[in-house]
Structures are given as C-alpha cells and as structure tokens.
Structure 1
Amino acid sequence: MALLPKHRPDDTFSLKERLNSRKVGGTLLLAAAVIAMILANTPLAPFYNFIRDFDLSIPALGMHHMTVAHWASDGILAIFFFVVGIELKREFVTGQLRDPRKASLPIAAAVGGMAVPALVYTVVVSSSGVDALEGWAIPVATDIAFALGLLAVFGKGLPSPFRAFLLTLAVMDDLLGIIVIAIFYTDALALWWLVGSLVVIALYALCVNRGWNPRWLLIPLGVIAWYFMLRSGVHATIAGVLLGLAVPARPIRDDKISLAEDMEHDWNALSQGLALPVFAFFAAGVPFAAGDGTFLEALANPVFLGAFLGLFVGKPIGIFLTVALLHRSKLFRLDSALKLWDIAALGGLAGIGFTVSLLIGELAFRGNEAMLDYAHLGVILGSIAAAFAAIFMLRLRERAHHADALPEGKVRMP
C-alpha cells in the first residue's frame, strides 16, 4: 500500500496549504481567461482559433472531432472534477455536510438556481416571438472552476462553511446540468458504454476501499472509466466526480490519514496549476461581435437577453429565494456561520456560467451560427456581470463577518 504522509486529516475545507493553492490557481485561471478573451477579440484571433480548433482526434478509438478545446474541457478538466469529488466526499463523511439537513439546503438551492434562470430565458424569448426556446437550459449552469477560483481570490475572511455550501451547490448544479444535456440535448446515448464506465468505477471503488491503491492500477482504471463515459455520450468529466466520490474519506486499517486526503494533496497541485488554466484559456475565448449586426444590436437580441438575464438575475434570485423559503424548515438547516446575505453573494458566484452554458448553447443552436453567437455573448457578458456583482458582495460580506465573532468551532477562509 502506498505510504501516506504522517499528519491528521482535516475535517473542514480550511487546510492552509490547499487554500493558498486555491488562490494561486484562481489567479492563474482568471489570467488565462482574460488572455483568451483578448486574443479572441484582436487581430490575433485567427492564431487563437487555429490552436483551439486544431484536430487531435483518435479515429482508431472512436474519438472523432476532438479538437484541442475538446481535450481541455472533456479531458484535462476531469482532473479538477476528480479533486472536487474527493473534497465533496470528505465533506459528507467527515466534514461540515455530515448533517443531512445542512447538505439538503445547498442541493435544494441548486435546483432553485436552475429552475428560475430557465424560466427567465423562456419568458424573455417566448414574449419576443423569436423561435429559440430550445436554448432554455443555457443559463442553468454554474462554472465550478471559475466560481471557486474567484472565491479563492476574493473570499478571504469569510466563514469556511461558505465554500462548503458553494462547492455542494456547484457540483450538484453541474451534475443536474449534465443530466439535462443527456435527456434534452443528447441525440443518442450509448447505454452499454455508460454501463461499462459505471462498472469500471465500481471496480475502482472496490480497489481503493480495500486498500489496493498503487498508481499503476488506479490511474489506468480512471482513464478507462473516463474513456467509456466519453463514448457513452455523457459529459466525460462526470467520470472524474464519480471516481473522486469513490475514494474512502476515513483511514483504512492502520493508516494515519485517509486516502482521500492523501490523493487530494497529490492531485490538487496538478488541478490548480495545469487543468484549470488550460481549460479557462480555451473556454473563455469568445468574440464579442455576435450575429450579422453590430454589438449594440446584439445586446437587444432576445437570445442574448435570455442568457444574460438568466445568469445575472435569475440564478442569484433562484438560489436566494430557495434558501430564504426553506432554511427555517425542519428538513433543512443553514449553517450557523452563514446569513441570508451570504447566500446573496454566493448567488452571484453561481451566476458565472461559462463552460457548461457555452456547451448547451452549441447543442441547442447547432447549425444556427447567428443564434449561437448571441447565446455565447449572453453567457460571457452575463458571467462577467455576475462575477463583478459577486466580488462586490463578497467584499461587503467580508467586512460584515470581520466585525462579527464566528460561532464556536468555525474558522475563516485565509
């Protein structure tokens, strides 16, 4: 069995080393996104597009039309989702989400945060008379990479349960978003490939829970599970989440710490230093010139407005109203360190759509370049607006929490 470092597992999301890495990773992610947006809207755009769209398909393995951008979003990003799955597993088993009533509230908030933006888009587009209702799901997604990266940079001093709530909400949001894609936007689901992926993930779970964890065994199993998931038609990064959730979060036999903490420590640097910046660079390079008209004309297009308002307005309202209505119920519980105004700030972070929203736009308007441009512009500007609103709210909440004492046993994010 692999040797594990001799330190106790952390029962919260506040390991200093990991959070410091989050700040570095968040900075790299934001820098990569800004560079991509600049390149995509300058004379260097052809060079950027050439790299992004360069074909790296492997026909012998049935992997067709795999560009560099596809490898970034479907392949390398699975590393990040693997780490997210491990973090979520630790929170459910040993951390702040052991209480089902605490876990149920962010999950419910994720559902509310998907329903309201979908409704906003539907109302805006249907009232205009434009035939574009197939894009109703565009604003339902949260980009977990950007949201957590922004929180790492601007969330200093907030209670650690804030990040736990956001992580749970964002992961559930992504999982539900992938289900939406599978049901409404997948032409053909290859069931046997999906079954094969789940079988390999089950084998992976058996190995790690029995203590059989050499890298020469686990890494090939993870790659095979990812490949089968990709061939199934389901977004391949979901395999990363499921693999992470399979890792045991309690020490096995005489281990000093859990395998989950050991793996998280090992894989987090690769996730923060490579996976997220590469993904951001190829996901954020979207031109601002949409459709056949001017930029100002694009801002009045119903598809743009539906995507923009869904993310910037619908997402925060859906999350806030859900929490406000449910947090006093016996079945739900808001952590004592959090206030409703914290949920308002968190809703802004959840309004950062980017990757999955862009993907749904491509699936919804495949073959309609004008509508696709409007949808992409709405996602980009809506996400930017939500990010700035979130930064403003995070600063306000940081000052409010700085003046208040935290409940006993709670810590602040460094």
Structure 2
Amino acid sequence: MIYKIKEESREHAPLERGFLKFSLSVQSFIDSQIVAGIVLLISAIAAILMVNLGWEQSYEAISALKLTLSLGDWQISHSIHYWVNDGLMVLFFFILGLEIKYECLVGALSDLKDASLVIVMALGGMVLPALIYIIIIWSSGSEAYQGWGVPMATDTAFAIGILTLLGAKAPRAAYILLTGLAIVDDMGAVAVIGFFYTEHIDVQSLLWASLTLFVMFLINIIGLRKPIFYLTAGIFLWWFILQSGVHATTAGLLAAMMVPTRPYANKVWFRRKMKKVIKDFQEVDTPDSPIIENEQQHALAVKAEDIAKQTTAPILRWGYTLDKPVSLIILPLFAFLNAGVMLPRGLPDFNDTVVTLAIIFALVLGKGVGISFFAWLGLKLGVVRLPSGIKISHIIGIGFLAGVGFTMSLFISALAFQGQSALIEQAKLGILFGSLIAGIVGAIILFFAVEN
C-alpha cells in the first residue's frame, strides 16, 4: 500500500518526481475493488479470442504444457492446467477460508440476527438454481444431472466489482450483504465439491490428512504464529488430500480454519511500545540528515514495524499479503486456462445446448428469483430483517448480481463433467452467457434502486 505523503516529507529518487504521478495512479487502480474483475474479464476474453480466431491449437498446447518437479528419484509431472486447477487454486480457497472464518467470528455472519438474512438469501441462491438445472435436464431427457452444482456459487470478485461501478451511491450494507452472500454460497459450493464430486476415497491418505490438520490445530493452540509452520503443514495437508481422492483445493479451506486469529499482543501494549519508540526516535533525531545516516533511527523504525506485526492478527495479515497475487495472477491464470470455448456459429441443435441453457436459466432466474423470494419469505415470516438503508429492490439487484458465477462455476464444471469435453464446452458457454446476463440485469436493477 502506498500512503499519500506530503511533498516536503518525501525523499525522492533521481527520476522519481516525473514517474510518481503515474505510479500512484497505477497503485490506486490496483488497490481498487474493480481491478480484479477487470483482469479476470481480460483473461477470459483472451482465451475465447484465441480459441475462436484460429489459435485453438496454440491455446491447447499452452494448457497441456508439462511442468515437472523432481527431487532425486522422486518426481511429479503434470500439465500447467492441472497445476493451476489443483495446485495454485488452493491459495484461492485458502483466502476464501480466511474470509469465511473472519466473517463468522467478527463479520457479517458473527451475529445470528444479522446473519440470518444472508443465510436465507444464500439458501435460495443455492436451492433454486440447482432445482431449475435439474428440471431442465430432466425435461430434455439428458443424463447430465451431475452439473447441478455448477450454478450454485458466486464469483465474489466480479460481483463486488460490478457493485463498485455504482460508486459511493451504493449503500455500504449492500456490499456487506453481497460479500456475506457470496461467502455462504461458496461454502455451499465447497461442500458440494467435497461430498458430491469425489470419485473415490483413499482412507489411509485421508487419515494422514486428518493427522496433519490436528498438528496444525496444535500449532495454533500452543501459540505459534510464524507462517513457516503453517506453510509446511499446509503442503503436507495438500499432498495427503490430493492422494485421498477429495479435491486438493479443499486443503486450502481446511488450512485456513487453523490460522490464528489472536495477535501476540493487545492494543494497550501496542500504544505503550509505539509511544516509547517515537520518544526514542525523537531523542536521537538529527533533522538535517536522512535516516540512512542514523543507524539508531533506522533500528527504531524497524522496531516499530515489528511492534505493528506483533499486534496484527495473522488471519488478516496473511490474507492481505496473498490477496493481490491471488486476485491478479492466480485467478486470471485460472480464467485463461479454463474459459477458452468455441462460440457457436449459428443456431445449434437443442440437444447440443441443454446444459448451456440449463446453466443460463439457473444462474439468471435461479439466483435472482431464488434469493429475492427467500428474502421476501423470510421477511414475511419475521425470521429476518433488512439492514438500514436496504430496500427489497436492493435485494433483487443483489440476487441477480450473485448469478455471476464465473470462477467457481468454471471450477465446479470441470469436476462435474470430468472427461466429458462436449459437456464441459456446453457448461462454459452457459457460465459465460449466464454470468454476463445476470451481471447486466443486476447492475441495472441496483442502478435504479440507488437512484430512487
């Protein structure tokens, strides 16, 4: 993060003044909530263009490129597509797990009265999309029932990015509702991945994974907060879960549950130590010389940084550290390697579009109507309450925005239709068009809700 520092307080490199305005603009853009969605969209469009403009073989060659890790006689070799989906995406699920844990402890899901609306909305956003998908598949005579989990999830980055376009006019409660809704949706999606898209279970590997998780729990409760302990145990957890038959990304979510929430020291200690550091800093100050010439001041500045680390919770600090690499590198990589689909060049046969249509209707109507109806029903029954500044029109808009499934939906479709390339292609089309329609409809509804 770059802080705004007054000109008289800055120390410039030789060419920094001319570059500063540009670098601050770039940093401000990177820090904005919308940038992750933009980078994801660009990655998906790049993949679609490659496939549809004659570079399909090059695209497939990139996806199939082998990457081998070896140590002595041991080696593991997989395609880049595999490493991203089953390896790097673990970090995405780790951040998702951190968000879930945080929201359950102190966020939108920490108070049952406040969380009840989010939970009720999420139930509607999972049940109705799955039901619509199954009904369409059943009525068509298709056998592609395993895709029912595809329209259940919400792409938080895209959905929040679209909401951000409304600017300061959108009520803060709308962001909290949408974030909480997306998190509960994704919890449901992870449960679906773990329980319904697991082909076989290796009990021995699962026992080793359970033991590793228990070790991480012990590391937490004895007060160890160094990242290296959790990283090492997390790698073992990933490996054992990968061997067990449960999808490897589940390791990210489970590892996140073991991350410490308590800092080393409290706020009182922080204030006392920082006052002492600032006092010592002023005592050894030499106003006319830079800090590099004063070793004592430099040591005190480093000490202040260490004090700040001791007083921040690992669950927040680690999440912040990983957020940008995951949202700006890993997720775009995933989108590029999974969104490449041949667009139809005419009206295809109905039997070739059943999964596509089922996912489109499930994402758009299932999410929009399901979330809105369950929220309305909860209000009528008196089991939920609307936050201050939120109207039912906001709920409807948020419901449609939650239909932007993209990343999680692509991920689940690859598991649901594993080895069935034709169905995967249909699913990709449904996810792309369904997410696009849901996003546009949700944005329009929220725009008018905010204006009124």
TM-score range, shorter chain: 0.7 to 0.9
- Identify the residue that residue 310 of structure 1 maps to in structure 2: 362
- Identify the residue that residue 296 of structure 1 maps to in structure 2: 347
How far does residue 309 in structure 1 lie from its aligned partner after superposition? 0.8
- Identify the residue that residue 327 of structure 2 maps to in structure 1: 272
- Identify the residue that residue 403 of structure 2 maps to in structure 1: 351
- Identify the residue that residue 110 of structure 1 maps to in structure 2: 122
- Identify the residue that residue 97 of structure 1 maps to in structure 2: 109
Counterpart-to-counterpart distance in 2, 1:20 and 1:141:
25
Q: Partner letter of residue 196 of structure 2? A: F
257 and 275 in structure 1: CA distance in 2 versus 1, 3 angstrom threshold: same
Counterpart-to-counterpart distance in 1, 2:164 and 2:30:
7
Q: Are residues 1:375 and 2:387 paired?
A: no
Secondary structure, counterpart of 1:56 in structure 2: strand
Summarize deviations over 1:181-234 as a string: whole Å, max 9, x none: 444332202344334334323433443454312232222122222222222333
Summarize deviations over 1:25-79 as a string: whole Å, max 9, x none: 2322222222222222211222112111223366987967x42123223222222
Summarize deviations over 1:300-340 as a string: whole Å, max 9, x none: 73322212111121122111111111145554344324322
How far does residue 170 in structure 1 lie from its aligned partner after superposition? 2.3
Counterpart-to-counterpart distance in 1, 2:203 and 2:172:
40
- Identify the residue that residue 44 of structure 1 maps to in structure 2: 55
- Say which structure, 1 or 2, has more relative contact order (CA 8 Å, 6+ apart): 1
Counterpart mapping for 1:125-204 below 5 A: 125-152=137-164, 156-204=168-216
Counterpart-to-counterpart distance in 1, 2:350 and 2:32:
38
Q: Are residues 1:54 and 2:65 paired?
A: yes
List alignment gaps of at least 5 residues for structure 1. Answer: 1-15, 401-414
- Identify the residue that residue 123 of structure 1 maps to in structure 2: 135
Counterpart-to-counterpart distance in 1, 2:320 and 2:251:
20
231 and 43 in structure 1: CA distance in 2 versus 1, 3 angstrom threshold: same
Q: Partner letter of residue 319 of structure 2? A: E
The match for 1:391 among 443, 446, 451 is 443
Q: Are residues 1:20 and 2:31 paired?
A: yes
Tell me, yes or no, if the aligned pair for 1:209 and 1:247 is still in contact at 8 Å. Answer: no
Tell me, yes or no, if the aligned pair for 2:37 and 2:161 is still in contact at 8 Å. Answer: yes
Tell me, yes or no, if the aligned pair for 2:194 and 2:250 is still in contact at 8 Å. Answer: no
- TM-score (normalizing by structure 1): 0.80
How far does residue 17 in structure 1 lie from its aligned partner after superposition? 8.5
Tell me, yes or no, if the aligned pair for 1:135 and 1:364 is still in contact at 8 Å. Answer: yes
56 and 104 in structure 1: CA distance in 2 versus 1, 3 angstrom threshold: farther
Q: Are residues 1:239 and 2:266 paired?
A: no
Counterpart-to-counterpart distance in 2, 1:120 and 1:281:
28
287 and 91 in structure 1: CA distance in 2 versus 1, 3 angstrom threshold: same
Secondary structure, counterpart of 2:246 in structure 1: coil
Q: Are residues 1:69 and 2:81 paired?
A: yes
Between structure 1 and structure 2, the one with the greater Rg is 2
320 and 257 in structure 1: CA distance in 2 versus 1, 3 angstrom threshold: same
Q: Partner letter of residue 429 of structure 2? A: L
Counterpart-to-counterpart distance in 2, 1:332 and 1:61:
56
List alignment gaps of at least 5 residues for structure 2. Answer: 1-26, 267-309
Q: Partner letter of residue 85 of structure 1? A: G
- Identify the residue that residue 29 of structure 1 maps to in structure 2: 40
Secondary structure, counterpart of 1:22 in structure 2: coil
Aligned residues: 380
Tell me, yes or no, if the aligned pair for 1:21 and 1:272 is still in contact at 8 Å. Answer: no
Q: Partner letter of residue 39 of structure 2? A: L
